[in-house]
Structure 1
């Protein structure tokens, strides 16, 4: 999946690196022990169409691009009236349901 932010297209990567970065962003830490849960939190936010969550997921999915957009640039893109935010939510969920690193979690969430 590609994401256009400003005048540049970015490849979204929903692999293991994406999951690791979600864990850093959304992870739960209890008494110094880290428990992933980033993917679970992100999927829950996407499922209820939380725009802040969508922005964070899109930003994190550009992790492999050395020239990735800023979080603020992704926010501005989502706030633009010309952006079909519902289509983006659906597209991200579709890609997550196909990516090997995330498809089982998506399937389990829908069960």
Structure 2
């Protein structure tokens, strides 16, 4: 999947590295005696939010899926892209959901979770 941010094509990859990036950014963390441990589960939290049309979650998913771009857009760039009235956000929600459902790494979690 590709989007155009700041007039540059941005490739989106929803594979294992995407899930690692998402876990790093939004994973479930637990702090025990000052030691923080990340337990992942970010995709599990994100799928119901995506199905509820949570734009902040969509922005995080796009940012994490852009991990393999030589010039990765910043989170602010992604936010501005989503705020742009020319961006068809309804279609983008549908497209990202379809990509997650077709991704070998994400499809089972996406299929089994409902909003």
Q: Same fold (TM over 0.5)?
A: yes
Residue 55 of structure 1: CA displacement?
Answer: 0.8
Q: Is the 2:63–2:73 contact (alpha carbons within 8 Å) kept by the matching residues of 1?
A: yes
User: Counterparts of 1:59 and 1:100 in 2: how far apart (Å)?
Assistant: 19
Q: Which one of 31, 43, 47 corresponds to residue 39 of structure 1?
A: 43
Q: Is the 8 A contact 2:63 2:78 kept in 1?
A: yes
TM-score scaled to structure 1, two decimals?
A: 0.94
Unmatched tracts of structure 1, length 5 or more: none
Q: How many angstroms apart in 1 are the aligned matches of 2:69 and 2:48?
A: 25
Distance in 2 between residues matched to 1:84 and 1:34, nearest whole Å = 34
Instruction: Tell me, yes or no, if the aligned pair for 2:27 and 2:39 is still in contact at 8 Å.
Output: yes
Structure showing greater relative contact order (alpha-carbon pairs closer than 8 Å, 6 or more residues apart):
2
Q: Match for residue 75 of structure 1?
A: 79
TM-score of the superposed pair, with normalisation by structure 2: 0.91
Aligned: 1:58 with 2:68: no
Which structure 2 segments of 5+ residues have no match?
none
Moved over 6 A (4+): none
Partner in structure 2 of residue 103 of structure 1: 107
Partner of 2:9: 9
Deviation at 1:87, TM superposition (A): 0.3
Give the match for residue 18 of structure 2: 18
Superposed CA RMSD: 1.3
Equivalent position SS for 2:9: strand
